[in-house]
Amino acid sequence: MNISIWPGSSSFEPNVGDTPFGFYDDDPDFQTDSDKFATFSSRRLGYPIMDVELQDIHFYTAFEEAVTTYGNEVFAFQIRENQLSLEGADASIDVTNSTITPGMGNIVRLSKQYGAEAGSGGNITWYDGAVDLISNKQVYDLNAWAKERGLDCKGGIEIKKVFFESPPAITQYYDPYSGTGFGFQALFNSFGFAAMSPATNYLMMPLSFDLQTIQAIEMNQQVRKSNYSFELINNQLRVFPIPNGSGGKMKFQYIINGERLSASVPEGDGAIANRVTSVLDAPYTNPTYSRINAPGRQWIFEYALAFVRETLGDVRNKYSQIPIPNSEVQLNGDALISQGREDRFKLIDRLREYLEQTSRRQLLERRADESEFRTKELNQVPMVIYVG
């Protein structure tokens, strides 16, 4: 069976199977460059002095794969640059040819975990609870309290805040505006004599005096009295001092441990079913060939040529030796495969290095360096002395 090889020219026909996937068949620039690339690569391989044991579809296949590889490398870099801005966005929106403006939305979402733990916001609900204070009972089991309410089956609870504090110092402090104290002043107010001045002297003390007095009262309670405090270990709440009467309540705030996980990994939420979750579903597609500039197309031509070299090497390796009268011809299949692979790896490394040099961080650092050097250069300019 005689299979025709490269005749020296080709005519690309879109959507008839010339390319395996047809990603770019409808792009006019791709249609034109396909035949140009076939001519370019065949001449680089020695045609017409040497036969090229390939057909036009081999050139088209290599060309399509090179364009796709170029797009994959560029868009993988873009995903790394923009993942914080893309995560959680609508995955159905194609951002291939869009400019992604960095935003704080995802950073704020990530920071909610800190707000939730600190009680200053976040996405975890803080619930209110209370236990009855019992005379002469110092330890209260909040795990048992949660079990009575069926909260243990949801992962238990975690106490975030206990409202058990000593009486405010201001309730033990006299009226700073009057030497009579709260009691005497309140007596006048109750009789409607608030506008009347009692037979006493008023003296406005500095604010620092009031703060020092309050601090003295609080220190007195901590050192000379059984201070109001508590100890919380494994949801076992120990209060100080031991209650000497019953009827009061001790309030606290808590979270349900199961909700901490559900806040990070929501379940059954249809609103986020089509959201970007990771780099695997970032909304990038294949590149638009007509938008690729000249440097990008040159990289594609070189990369596709390396593919063609490998393909031709595989074909020639099938018949590594061809018998001729009184001798044999040794084909260079292994050399073509080795050179093609080496060229592809070098081109990939060159592209990745170039992309890294154009990353947002590198560009900002370069701009900062330029600004610094510009300032140094301007400082060398002599200062003109103005004489009026």
- What is the CB neighbour count within 10 angstroms for residue 267? 6
Using DSSP's 3-state secondary structure scheme, residue 56 falls into helix
Return the percentage of the chain with pLDDT > 70, whole number.
82
CA distance 138 to 346: 74
CA distance 228 to 218: 11
| Cβ-contact 300, 68 below 8 angstroms | no
Q: pLDDT at position 387, please?
A: 74
In the predicted model, residues of the chain with pLDDT beneath 50 are: 176-183, 187-188, 190-191, 270
Distances 38 to 16, 181, 250, 266, 301 between C-alpha atoms, Å: 18, 101, 84, 52, 10
Q: pLDDT at position 187, please?
A: 47
| Cβ-contact 210, 169 below 8 angstroms | no
Domain ranges of the chain: 28-100+281-379, 113-267
pLDDT in tens, 283-318: 899 999 999 999 999 999 999 999 999 999 999 888
pLDDT in tens, 224-283: 766 678 889 999 999 888 888 766 888 999 998 888 777 666 555 545 568 888 888 888
Tokens representing 219 are 């220190």
Q: pLDDT at position 326, please?
A: 57
Q: Which residue has tokens 């194609």?
A: 94
CA 209 to chain centre: 51
Which stretches does DSSP call E strand in the chain?
A: 127-132, 139-141, 157-163, 229-233, 236-240, 249-256, 321-324, 327-330
* Global pTM value: 0.65
Q: pLDDT at position 333, please?
A: 87
